[in-house]
Structure 1
Amino acid sequence: MEKKLIKLTINGRVRELSVKPNDLLLNVLRNDLHLMGTKYGCGIGECGACTVLVDGQTALACLILAITVEGQEITTIEGMGDHVQLHPLQESFIEHGAVQCGFCTPGMLLAGEALLKENPCPNEEEIREYLRGNLCRCTGYAAIVKAIKSEAKCLSVNTGTSSE
């Protein structure tokens, strides 16, 4: 199969990649770019372990052909924070014990980040609904929901102050 040269912006960096028409974004991220935070879980879009952000929206990298996201901004967990400065949501996951085995964590963090950009003040039900495509077999979700809720930027209508 003949490869095609495409340009993607991955974690803020423009990358030129030579991909086959049937190369999945998940495989390109892991095998070609060595971004191992995006996990292979089910391979059929049911578990959320491969969640990335495409132009700020959650997407399942196991279902996306790499050539279809040419020219778009892809964010993986590696683009969320780094070893020197964690993203505030990453810090919140640690603080609230929302990380156990860690397999679902990258997808949960990216989904949480997308939710908070879309809805800065979600309630528990909205958080749970947004995460419904991300499976976790360790935490029972309570700590994950609490970690995301703690990063919500809710303003009181009457006082203009933050509320929890």
Structure 2
Amino acid sequence: MKNNATLCFPAFLIGTLATLFGGEIVSAAIYSITNTTLTVRYDDATQTFSVTETATGQTFLIGGKLEGEAVKATVTGRTIIVTQADGSTASLELRENVPFVFVHKTLRNAGTTTTYIQRVVPLTFTLDLRQPAAEPRTMGTAGLTAPDRRPQHRPDHQQANQAVCSSAG
């Protein structure tokens, strides 16, 4: 039985700078990826990321944090891959001519028993939209609505959204 569950969420992200002191590699690196619309930066030391609009240079997503403790980050093409302490991975990806950051989370069950996952929050962040909070609109099942007007999740849907991560065996 496969022991990985992959979740995909649109979001935003990150680039590369390594520091060397006295022959020791310090794990304080900035990883960066860019497309025609966005630049994503991931700070290895603080384990946070930000997203900047390329045309204006305005950073609008700040203090982004991926779920889990990061132990290693790498960049492949337009993707920043963050390996976590439990063996799970999170990746931040930019695609050409698409104004979104794609966030993929692969959960790993290192144990020998089935793990039931009740809730996954793959990332948290703060948006600085430089406008009053009443003006933005969000797109969801209720259409284009103000963030405070979106419908709440119904309890009967929480069970359907539950993920299961099984161990190999």
Judge same fold: TM > 0.5, yes or no: no
Relative to the length of structure 1, the TM-score reads 0.26
Larger radius of gyration: 2
Relative to the length of structure 2, the TM-score reads 0.25
Higher relative contact order (CA 8 A, sep 6+): 2
Higher-strand-fraction structure: 2
